[in-house]
Amino acid sequence: MALTREQMAQRVAQELQDGFYVNLGIGIPTLVANYVPQGMEVMLQSENGLLGMGSFPTEAELDADMINAGKQTVTARTGASIFDSAESFAMIRGGHVDLTVLGAFEVDVHGNIASWMIPDKLVKGMGGAMDLVAGADNIIVTMTHASKSGESKLLPQCQLPLTGAGCIKRVLTDLAYLEIEDGAFILKERAPGVSVAEIVALTAGKLIVPDQVPEMTFGD
């Protein structure tokens, strides 16, 4: 079975470390805020000007003025700071973010990412994605492995306009966790119940499959 959005967020949360400053992109990445391990100190950054983002609010906590970069209402944790977008992007461009998690339309074997435009479709623009992929060394892309029509999104070469070139090393899809190295995807983990053969069939770019590919596990 393919991973749910929540399971993908849980798997990404396993990459968090105590003391990390983390930027979460729009979509699946925002769910990671709900799965920060108990007792771990992580400061979540939203590029619209919030450092110290908390989990999504309950009805009682709802504040329409407190939003993330995707215009979703959020909470602020103890110790949070609020500032303008210029200061926010200075953090990003200055390399002060320890981990960036963002979505994508396509990723290829060269570590290129296309995440902001589909021709002939109405789009909101690239947001902070170009700055994030240029300013961060530690990036995880979350995406579905294939399109709704069954076409692979893990490609020999991105077909859509690039957000960044040669910047992606780790990809989590709804089927697998992969790393990019020397012009190939390397299959590291597979979703529970998903076979290696299924992943191979839906990966258009060069894929290296180790002898043993463990199933993902999730914390409580």
* Residue in 6, 15, 41, 47 annotated catalytic: 47
Q: Do the bridges between strand 50-53 and strand 43-46 make them parallel or antiparallel, or are there none, so unpaired?
A: antiparallel
Task: Cite the beta strand spans of 105-164 per DSSP E.
Answer: 106-108, 113-114, 139-143, 154-155
How many H helices and E strands in the chain?
4, 13
Both tokens of 104, joined, read 């994508």
Burial of 97 (0-12, 13-18, 19+ CB in 10 A): buried
Secondary structure letter of residue 87 according to DSSP = H
Six token digits for residue 98: 């320890």
Going by the DSSP 8-state scheme, the letter that residue 13 receives in this structure is: H
Cα atoms found within 13 Å of the Cα of residue 187, Cβ hemisphere only: 27
Dihedral of CA atoms 67, 42, 141, 66 in degrees, nearest 10, equals 0
Residue type for position 173 = T
198 carries an active-site annotation: no
Active site residues per annotation? 47
